[in-house]
Structure 1
Amino acid sequence: MAHIIVVGNEKGGSGKSTTSMHVATALARMGHRVAALDLDIRQRSFGRYLENRAHFVGKEGLDLPSPTLGQIDAKNPNDTDPLSASMAALEGDHDFILIDCPGSHTRLAQMAHMLADTLITPMNDSFIDFDLLARMSPDGKVLGPSIYAEMVWGARQGRQAAGAGPIDWIVLRNRLGTQAMHNKRKVGTALGQLSRRIGFRVAPGFAERVVFRELFPRGLTLLDLKDIGTEQLSMSNIAARQELRELVQTLNLPGVKVDF
Structure 2
Amino acid sequence: MTEQAKRAHIIVLGNEKGGSGKSTTAVHIGVALAHAGFRTAMIDLDARQRTVARYLENRLVFANGRGLELPTPDVAVIADGPEAVAELALRLQQASVLDFIVIDTPGRDSDLAKAALAQADTIITPINDSFVDFDLIGQVDPETFAVKRPSFYAELIWDAKRVRAKEAGVQLDWVVLRNRLSTLEARNRKRVGAALESLSKRVGFRVVGGLSERVIFREFFPRGLTLLDRAALEDFSLSHVGARAELRALMAGLNLPGWDPEKLA
CA distance in 2, matches of 1:137, 1:117: 32
Determine whether 1:35 maps to 2:38.
no
Give 1:76 deviation, angstroms.
Answer: 2.3
Secondary structure at the counterpart of residue 68 of structure 2: coil
Secondary structure at the counterpart of residue 86 of structure 2: coil
Structure 2 residues not aligned, in runs of 5+: 1-6
Counterparts of 1:79-228 in structure 2 under 5 Å?
81-92=86-97, 94-139=98-143, 140-224=145-229, 226-228=230-232
Aligned residue among 8, 24, 45 for 2:51 = 45
Give 1:233 deviation, angstroms.
Answer: 2.6
Secondary structure at the counterpart of residue 119 of structure 1: strand
TM-score (norm 1): 0.94
Determine whether 1:63 maps to 2:66.
no
TM-score (norm 2): 0.92
Structure 1 residues not aligned, in runs of 5+: none
Structure 1: which 4+ aligned runs deviate by more than 4 Å? 77-80
Aligned to 2:3: none
Q: Which moved more, 1:160-169 or 1:113-122?
A: 160-169
CA distance in 1, matches of 2:214, 2:170: 36
Change in CA separation of 1:192 and 1:20 when aligned onto 2, cut-off 3 Å: same
Change in CA separation of 1:240 and 1:77 when aligned onto 2, cut-off 3 Å: farther
Count residues in correspondence: 256
Aligned to 1:235: 238
Give 1:177 deviation, angstroms.
Answer: 1.0
Q: Identical aligned pairs, as a percentage?
A: 51
CA RMSD of aligned residues (A): 1.5
CA distance in 1, matches of 2:90, 2:209: 34
Give 1:148 deviation, angstroms.
Answer: 0.6
Q: Which amino acid aligns with 2:107?
A: G
